[in-house]
Amino acid sequence: MAIQWFPGHMNAAKKKAAEQMADVDVVIEVVDARLPEASTNPLVEELRKFRAKPCLKVLNKIDLADPDATAAWVRYFEQDDAVTAYAMTTKKPADVARVIDKARALAPHRGVPTKPLRLMIMGIPNVGKSTLMNALLKRRVAKVGDEPAVTKTQQKIYLDKNTAIIDTPGLLWPKIAMPSDGLALAASHAIGANALIEEEVAEWLAGELLRRYPQLLAARYGFKTAEMDAIAVVEGLAQKRGYRIRGGDWDYEKASHMLLQDYRSGALGRISLETPETRAAALAAFTEA
């Protein structure tokens, strides 16, 4: 009988996920290409290392991300021998189609009917896991709950006779490492931002855009960004669009919402909120403080 060993600090949810991962050949970890580290769940890395599983790191939503930053992230992630990084968008069927081939290359001993390739798709909310899963399933779906090998607690969905996807475990949210990660995740809609903090998130985003992509702010809104700070960007947007509250003051709430929408939809252009270099610098500053 195999000995089940878990480190003492593993809580019940983690243990369950670690158990499920035991029967997986490749972990497909989906992150948001605009913020690949901030949208990484450290728990996934911890578990896959604990189980010594190869990982296909999918940087999804590249249609929204800065191509240079994405290329730098792919090089960065592939420094880990157990990782293949794949930049893609679920909007392109050809990109989706390559996911299985990439995963198969990480477990060449699997992928035949007697030993199907077993995949698990993991990642934080809103990175595109369901969209990817649905796009993959368009090929062919067969639920195999009535097969003797399949337990009731774990569902396998076969994409074809050689490839199965194991039900993704629900993972708890990790602690967000830096406050700026929380803001980047909220700006990118991975965590909810109510109207009150939407203004804070938009102001933070405006600061990042001024620093990283002033040319995109100039192109979309006609701003002279050299003279602007973050508040001026939000106010400038209210002015451009004529957003006022009763009494005549600028409507920061509406302008904040509009800025976030323009970023999320890609209307502002292809934007990444971190690169390997800026991430390292932010982490260093955070640990020093």
Question: Is 62 marked within a binding site?
Answer: yes
Select 103 or 210, whichever has its Cβ closest to ligand G4P.
Answer: 103
Min separation Cβ 112 and ligand G4P, Å = 29
Query: CB–CB of 59/208 below 8 Å?
Result: no
Q: Is 160 annotated as ligand-binding?
A: no
Residue 154 Cβ vs ligand G4P, minimum distance, rounded to whole Å: 19
CA distances from 180 to 18, 183, 234 (A): 29, 5, 19
By CB neighbour count within 10 A (0-12 exposed, 13-18 middle, 19+ buried), where does 16 fall?
middle
Looking at beta carbons only, is 250 or 263 nearer to ligand G4P? 263
For residue 265, the minimal CB distance to ligand G4P (Å) is 8
Give the shortest CB-124-to-ligand G4P separation in angstroms: 7
| 126 in a labelled binding site | yes
Binding footprint of ligand G4P on the chain (CB under 6 A):
60-61, 63-64, 89-91, 123, 125-131, 189, 264
- Residue 128 annotated as binding site: yes
The reply, when asked if residue 224 is annotated as ligand binding, is no
Residues in the chain, overall count:
289
Residue 83 β-bridge partners = 55
Residues 6+ apart with CB under 8 A from 237: 221, 243, 255, 258, 259
> Which token pair is 147?
């097969």
DSSP character at residue 284: H
Question: Cβ of residue 205: shortest distance to ligand G4P, in angstroms?
Answer: 15
User: Is 61 within any annotated ligand binding site?
Assistant: yes
Find residue 30's DSSP bridge partners: 58
The reply to whether 63 sits in an annotated binding site is: yes
* Residue type at position 146: D
Angstrom distance (rounded) from CA 71 to CA 190: 22
Task: Kindly state the smallest distance separating residue 96's Cβ from ligand G4P, in Å.
Answer: 9
DSSP code for 227: G
Contacts of 2 (CB under 8 A, 6+ apart): none
Strand partners, 193: none
Q: Which residue has the tokens 């192109």?
A: 219
Name which of 128 and 236 has its Cβ closer to ligand G4P: 128
Would you say 64 or 106 has its CB closer to ligand G4P?
Answer: 64
Record the tokens describing residue 267, joined without a space: 């209307």
Residue 214 or 266 having the CB closest to ligand G4P: 266
181 is in an annotated binding site: no
Residue number with CB closer to ligand G4P (210 or 259): 259
Annotated binding site: 60-63, 126-131, 170
Annotated binding site for GTP: 60-63, 126-131, 170
